[in-house]
Structure 1
Amino acid sequence: MKMSSRAGYLWALLSGVFLALSFPIPGLSILAWCAFVPLFKATDGAAPGKAFNLAFTAGLAGYAGMLYWVNIVMTTYGKLPLSVSFALYMFLCAYLALYPAVTLWLVRRGENAGISALVSFPVIWTGLEFVRSFLLTGFPWESLGYSQYRTLPLIQIADLTGVYGLSFLIALANVVIFRVLLSVSRKGATYPVRGLIALLVLMALTVAYGFGVLSRPESGPEQQVLLVQGNIPQDVKWDPAFQESTVATYERLTRLGCREPGTLVVWPESALPFFFQAEPVYAARVRALAAELKSPLLTGSPAVEKEDGLVRYLNSAYLISPQGAVVGRSDKLHLVPFGEYVPLAKLLPFVNKMVAGIGDFSPGKSAVPLQTDGARLGVLVCFEGIFPEVARSYVAAGANVLVNITNDAWFGRSSAPYQHLSMMVFRAVENRVPLVRAANTGITSAIDSRGHIDGMTPLFEEATLAAKVHPGKGGTFYNRFGDVFAILCLCGAAVCAGYPLKTSAKGKTKKK
């Protein structure tokens, strides 16, 4: 019996709800494995155009539920009217919804040409996820595989395939589950024997690999780390009148938490809301604190430099030695559009940044690890932690500990800080190095090289987190060769897209 149009869209909406619920919060990761089953039911036998519309609906619902916090950023800190904020939010969700829409359109075209969805859906979905990671500066926020960040035996394959291996596996499972249910409920439907065998084999290999990695204890010297969460309100952060209280807060928390000389102390992104390199009084106090505690101290602060007569502002991290000397600076490489700079500013003179305090930032030039006595630090500043290639470049350059300094105050008490953290887990596993994270308002945490989260601070509270990490060795397949698996999937997607055109052309030739 043919499904009504209204019922089809209700099934599509259910897929969107399942997809949103798969990610933090609430993080019902099990739903990811069947999130697309209602959508497959809605699009079963549908024309490609209809499948596009239904999948767009599912994607719109899913991303709207996942990214609702964008409105908090735009209304609270961007000072946009709610109507304007909502319009921009829906525009972003509509852009992201195009990816599942195009995927289902290509899958249905492929099925009409004889390509099974068991092949086409996981390949196309994964390939387009990869495209989303770099197109229009990239927005790989919560790719499908990130939903499993707590399932340690599954995520270990990220050191081979990145997060895309998990996305592929989940996408394949959705098709198999739908085909199994269809074979039970519909007379004459074929049981997906080969698809089920392929899924079970891949799952078994993934889990076996994961348990093999988890059974190997971490080795090597330990590095004591103290992560400091100052909880400085965003609305006063850049007010010069609060500089004294800001510095005093970080001094107090650091003295209370640092019990052992040589402990690596990490303060968050822009913990010092002034130009550290040009501020004599407060900068001297911070250097003196490192010398007093006999511990290296990493802190976020903007930087300024002149190049060819032009002034460049950078979002940076400074490393201070246990002797109180500044021994290195790391500059943010991947900037936040509309947060740290305005894309196409000359064409959009009416658009302003949402971050107050400084003019447009410029990106850093290269990934340069910062050297301490116990570790070589690759610093990921806020948003750039969601880009695997940035973490890879630091580890390839010699970093054996990744440090994510961030200010997630923008997100309020929403799901976004938890979603942000979930992606950091994969940076550690992909490169087999620990990742420590200091966030202004939380979530501050430490993650070992197998993705285990060792402590999480509460949101919007002053806190410190002490942890011990084992600097990693890197050298994983993913670190050396990057997104080979995702690129292969993208090539497979291109084949799936081109094959129906080829068969259509052959059909026309035969008719002639």
Structure 2
Amino acid sequence: MLCSADRRVWCLSLLGALTMFLVQPPADLWRLAWLAPLPWLWLIQADTLGTAQPWRVLWVGGLCYWLSAIHWLRLPHPATSIGWIALSAYLAIFVPLFIWTSRRLVHRWRWPLVVAAPLAWMALEQLRGWLLGGFTLAALGHTQWRWTELIQCADCFSACGVSGIVMAVAAGICQMLPERGVRYRMGHALCGAALGTGVLAAALCYGMWRMAGEPLPHGVPLEVLLVQGSIDTELKHDPAAAEQVVRQYDRLTVAALEAYSAGLPTPARPDLIVWPETMWRYGLLEIDAAHVLPESVVEQMLGPAVGSDLAAAADARQLRCQRALEQERLDGVGAFARRYATTWLVGLDKQIFTPLVPAGVQNFNCALFLDATGKVLDCYEKMHPVVFGEYLPLAERFPWLYRLTPLPAGLTAGTEPVAVRIADRCVATNICYETTLPEAVRSLVLTLEKQDRRPDLLVNLTNDGWFWGSSELDMHLTSAIFRAVEVRTPLVIAANTGLSASIDGSGRLLKRGPRRETATILARVYPDGRRSPWLVWGSWPTGMCVAIVAVVMLEGWLFASALRIVDRPADQHLG
């Protein structure tokens, strides 16, 4: 049977998992976020946990939380249930790390809870944004996206800073509440409450100041038509359904353009049309001159070879066939761009056939800009594919690894951001999961700024048809809201199955599409232009939190090692 101390740790660990889950989508009880960490904070504040193996119990609590929070990861394919469990098990480690680190700061280093808990929480949120490619969804600060004044401090400390504010207030409340097993000190409680209140007040004052300096809309807005179809991933990946996918998006686009021109004496067009990630199902081809096409393909494209010197003509036929195959794919997408008669940004795949890689082919997830004549303006290749979701480590060298997974092949990462001038505005793009990575978006903006092409608008192309309208859509959208604030740049999203959106540089959600339904959104975007401190110093503030936590962990390890050395002679004597 469990003793009372064991039961207490179990109850508070699981209660914390429940309350932290309830503040995230789908329950989305966001106001509860200021109280949700209390069960875990009580464990930090307790003079002793009173049980021999508390960290295993806390890991189980973390596991329950993450299994619930990212339940949608099991939806794309039966095999992704393995990834769901594995990722949850990994993320669960951060719960005992948070409680252990905070307890060490409070009880050994004598730091107040209202300082120790936010510092440890920000450090560990930052760490999970750095490790294994980064996973930042379901951050505590994300729950507060509706409180626009509060989230303005993300342009100093990113979303981790907002999480720290929420945790500081929760810690202040915790210090005010008497708890069994904790010595109650009125002076400490009042100081903690005052410090938590002061942090919140400072954040709100900063937010109101930043919003007061928000530029007023001026000039002509950039008009962007976001096209949201509703194509579940299984349908999208059915080769026979490619035409159906394109037909749905084309129908939505044409209807929206007709509505846009209705009542005008002459036809008019928005400045930009955006289709989501990979919704043009006929991918681009690039073929290396050294790649040899099968003769059957060459004959199908060019007909049988004729003439006496067939060997001499073989290389020329290969080159003609390669260029014809590449142009055939461009002609198809270019014809649609000419029909729309405006700039079109469309998500599609691209394959590069080359003997220079072991697999013989590289696969890219792309965003293609075309002008009103069908001419290609530029092509962005996704720079941050999702590990285990879009590629396997080492699989470019050992392609046979993909035979062990549901992935038919992996993506190759692009190497540079892309920006195109549209109606005298600079428009940059990224794809899908990249909006969840603060450093990736910051790097994109800084790189383009150094080239004198700082974006006036960020466009995200997303296919969330994998997740069947689940709470992943809400978490993905929330990440984009914080990215807009961090880099002070308006951001629009075209998302298959939703949630398409228009977000301004202060993180206001101006327009949002429906969930798992078709829609079109006309976003009118004005540039923001404000400077962002986070663009200057990046993750240095939260990185300092990581450094402090690393010192705490090292000190704890050295302390434990020293105790073992001191105890060893006594053990030998007793033996």
Residue of structure 2 aligned with 1:104, choices 90, 99, 104: 99
Q: Structure 1 residue 199: deviation in Å?
A: 1.6
**Cα distance change of structure 1 residues 159 and 115 upon mapping to structure 2, 3 Å threshold:** same
Q: Measure, in 2, the Cα distance between the counterparts of 1:471 and 1:360.
A: 36
Q: Distance in 1 between matches of 2:50 and 2:380?
A: 52
Counterpart check, 1:71 vs 2:74: yes
Describe the superposition over 1:373-401 as per-residue Cα deviations: whole angstroms up to 9, x where unpaired: 34322212111111011211222212221
Superposition deviation, residue 497 in structure 1: 3.1
Quote the Cα distance in structure 2 between the aligned partners of 1:306 and 1:185.
Answer: 67
Q: Quote the offset at 1:468 in angstroms.
A: 0.6
Q: Distance in 2 between matches of 1:107 and 1:49?
A: 18
Match of 1:155 in 2: 151
**1:16 corresponds to which residue?**
17
Q: Aligned residue for 1:94?
A: 89
* 1:280 shift after superposition: 5.5
Q: Find the aligned partners of 1:7 and 1:510 in 2 and give their Cα distance.
A: 32
**Does structure 1 retain, via aligned residues, the 8 Å contact 2:128–2:135?**
yes
Aligned pair 1:275/2:283, yes or no? yes
Code of the aligned partner of 1:25 = P
2:334 corresponds in structure 1 to 287
Counterpart residue number, 1:124: 120
Return the offset for 1:328. Answer: 0.4
How far apart, in 2, do the equivalents of 1:249 and 1:501 lie?
59
Matched-pair contact (CA < 8 Å) for 1:441–1:461: yes
What SS does the corresponding residue of 2:544 show, helix, strand or coil? helix
Hey, what's the Cα distance between the residues in 2 that align with 1:48 and 1:326? Answer: 65
TM-score, scaled to structure 1: 0.89
Alpha carbons of structure 1 residues 187 and 130: separation in structure 2 relative to 1, 3 Å: closer
1:360 corresponds in structure 2 to: 410
For 1:32, the equivalent position in structure 2 comes to 33
What does residue 375 of structure 1 align with? 425
RMSD: 2.9
2:532 paired residue number? 476
2:365 aligns to what SS in structure 1? strand
Q: Contact 2:73–2:467 at 8 Å: present in 1 too?
A: yes
How far the C-alpha of 1:38 sits from its partner, in A, is: 1.3
Quote the Cα distance in structure 1 between the aligned partners of 2:74 and 2:470. Answer: 11
Partner Cα separation in structure 2 for residue 427 and residue 188 of structure 1? 41
The one-letter code of the counterpart of 2:276 is P
CA distance in 1, matches of 2:238, 2:413: 24
Describe how 1:231-270 pairs up with structure 2 within 5 A.
231-258=230-257, 259=260, 260-270=268-278
- Whether contact under 8 Å (1:47, 1:108) holds in the other structure is no
Match of 2:456 among 396, 400, 406: 400
User: Match of 2:320?
Assistant: none
| 1:132 aligned counterpart, secondary structure | helix
Q: Give the deviation of 1:37 after TM superposition.
A: 1.0
Q: Is the 8 A contact 1:161 1:486 kept in 2?
A: yes
Equivalent-residue separation in structure 2 for 1:26 and 1:161 (angstroms) = 27
Give the TM-score taking structure 2 as reference length. Answer: 0.80
Alignment partners' CA distance in 2, 1:349 and 1:34: 45
- Mapped partners of 1:494, 1:187: distance in 2: 28
Supply the AA of the counterpart residue of 1:197. A
Residue 428 of structure 1 pairs with residue 427 of structure 2:
no
Distance 2:131 2:102 in 1: 22
Which of residues 208, 216, 219 in structure 1 aligns to 2:217? 219
In structure 2, the residue matched to 1:143 is 139
CA contact (8 A) 1:154 1:210 kept: yes
* Distance (Å, rounded) in 2 between the aligned partners of 1:337 and 1:316: 17
- Contact conserved, 1:291 with 1:322, CA < 8 A, in 2? yes
C-alpha separation between the residues in 2 aligned to 1:505 and 1:246?
Answer: 61
Residues 121 and 53 of structure 1: is their aligned pair in 2 closer, same or farther, counting only changes over 3 Å?
Answer: farther
Read off the aligned partner of 1:404 and give its amino acid letter.
Answer: N
Q: Deviations over 1:78-118 (max 9, x none)?
A: xx3xxxx5554222211101012112122223334233333
- Cα distance, 1:450 vs. partner? 0.9
1:505 and 1:39 mapped to 2: Cα distance? 27
Which of these residues, 180, 205, 211, is aligned with residue 208 of structure 1? 205
The CA deviation string for residues 240-295 of structure 1, in whole angstroms up to 9 with x for no partner, is: 33233322222221122132424211000001122235575675354344334432
CA distance in 1, matches of 2:473, 2:181: 41
Residues in 2 aligned to 1:395 and 1:449: alpha-carbon distance in whole angstroms: 14
1:302 paired residue number: 349
Counterpart of 1:61? 64
State the distance in 1 between where 2:401 and 2:530 align. 44
Name the CA shift for 1:504/1:236 in 2 (closer, same or farther; >3 Å).
closer
Aligned residue for 2:233, secondary structure, equals coil
**Range 393-402 or range 328-337, more displaced:** 393-402
Q: For the residues of structure 1 that align with 2:370 and 2:103, how far apart are their CA atoms?
A: 57
> Quick check: 1:377–1:401 contact (8 Å CA) kept in 2?
yes
Conserved 8 A contact 1:160-1:478: yes
Deviation digits for residues 176-207 of structure 1 (CA, Å, limit 9, x no counterpart): 21111027997743442332222222111111
Partner of 1:349: 401
Cα distance change of structure 1 residues 509 and 24 upon mapping to structure 2, 3 Å threshold: closer
Structure 2, unmatched stretches of 5+, are: 261-267, 286-324, 449-453, 568-575
* Distance across 2 between alignment mates of 1:86 and 1:324: 42
* Partner SS for 1:91: helix
Q: Which residues of structure 1 form unaligned runs of 5+? A: none
Contact 2:228 2:495 (C-alpha < 8 Å) held by counterparts: yes
The alignment partner of 2:427 has SS state of strand
Count how many residue pairs are aligned between Structure 1 and Structure 2.
501
One-letter amino acid matched to 1:65: S
Q: Conserved in 1, the CA contact under 8 Å of 2:392 and 2:402? A: no
Separation in structure 2 between the aligned mates of residue 238 and residue 279 of structure 1, nearest angstrom = 22
Aligned twin of 1:5: 6
Alpha carbons 2:283, 2:329 under 8 Å: kept: no
In structure 1, C-alpha distance between the alignment counterparts of 2:54 and 2:36, rounded to whole Å: 16
Shift of 1:148: 1.2
Q: C-alpha separation between the residues in 2 aligned to 1:238 and 1:188?
A: 60
Q: Is the 8 A contact 2:66 2:92 kept in 1?
A: yes
Percent identical? 28
Q: Highest Rg: 1 or 2?
A: 2
> 1:169 — aligned with what?
165
Partner of 1:69, secondary structure, is helix
**Partners of 1:505 and 1:14 in 2: CA distance:** 33
1:459-509 deviations in Å (ceiling 9; x for gaps): 222211111111332641112221122111112222333455677899999
Deviates more, 1:15-24 or 1:497-506: 497-506
CA distance in 2, matches of 1:401, 1:444: 15
Separation in 1, partners of 2:5, 2:52: 16
